[in-house]
Structure 1
Amino acid sequence: MSLFNPDKLYVEFRDGVTSTGPINLRRHTLTYSDITADLFLTIGLKFSRDKITFMRDEVLGKWTKHGGSYVYNVYVDLDIDGQFTQTVAAKRNDIYRRELPFAIQAIRYGDRRLFHSYPTLNNSSIIVHFQSIFPPLNKVENWGTFANQF
């Protein structure tokens, strides 16, 4: 992925979701083609499991309400429920950490009308869940806000 190119992003809105709402229950599924370098963002009320390939390099995101404000939660699966060794999971962790800023930028750009309709979302915390069965890799981190990412 490396650099985000808006021309390589394809966005699909599923039933129950428009470019401006709702925020609650909104789910993002971002997948990537290693062959074409295209990004595919599906926005719906559920994660788009049908878009997830055997490579399992997707980035999932969802909004949750915390107190009076929204938090954006990002989920990446490092070892696919133990299908990979810790060495492979650590390599996937390195790749996700390198590429995740561009993935977040792609999600923000692909859903820009929502952010335009609700500018306070730019100040929402981004909480990244690195999911792994290996304790050193299984982490939850605050990655700042959309406003300070770009």
Structure 2
Amino acid sequence: MFDLQKLFVQLTPPATFVQPVEGRKYTLTHSDVTAKLFLDVGYVYNCKAINWKMRDEVLAEWKKDREGRLYLAGKAYVDGGEFRKEVSGLRFNLFQKEIGTAITGIVYGDWPFYYNYPALLDAPIFVHYDSTYPEYSHVFYYGTPRQYVKQISSGFRLARL
């Protein structure tokens, strides 16, 4: 269950809630101890926030497809060949189990951005699971930001878009 109280957001200048649109990057990390989520929004990923031993972050970026339509492209690092196949399988399954929480954190953490660009609430979300093992290297469709907004019913009031 997503807990808005445990989401902490940092907007890294010169990024604002209006710009950039294309190329807007999200770095979502978490604490296993406190269950807090940390979202950095900016022009670049926050590499300092990434635990390079655990590699359990979720990265995302607004990109344009060939027709010029924006979509949210996420990435989950399963492995780069450093883990046994069984460990990579566990990581893949864990990412799949938790990706909804990660996407919800990204959407809610940047809510003023969607207020400025309400059409993006209906943009597709794709997440690439990056692995050297073909069975764990996939791109999946995860709906739209609007679907993640609708999932939360914790009394948090949002402007209607």
> TM-score normalised to the size of structure 1?
0.94
Shift of 1:97: 0.7
Deviations 1:62-121 (A, max 9, x none): 000122321100000101x11111111111111111110111001000000001110111
Gaps of 5+ in 2: 151-161
Shift of 1:20: 2.5
Q: How does 1:1-150 map to 2 (within 5 A)?
A: 3-53=1-51, 54-66=53-65, 67-79=67-79, 81-149=80-148, 150=150
Shift of 1:147: 2.0
Deviations 1:44-66 (A, max 9, x none): 11111110012110000000012
Q: Name the Cα RMSD after superposition.
A: 1.1
Q: Alignment identity in percent?
A: 35
The DSSP-based 3-state class of the residue aligned with 1:71 is: strand
> TM-score normalised to the size of structure 2?
0.87
Shift of 1:4: 1.2
Is the Cα–Cα contact under 8 Å of residues 17 and 116 in structure 2 kept in the other structure?
Answer: no
Q: Which amino acid aligns with 1:105?
A: T
Q: Which has the higher strand share?
A: 1
Is the Cα–Cα contact under 8 Å of residues 28 and 58 in structure 2 kept in the other structure?
Answer: yes
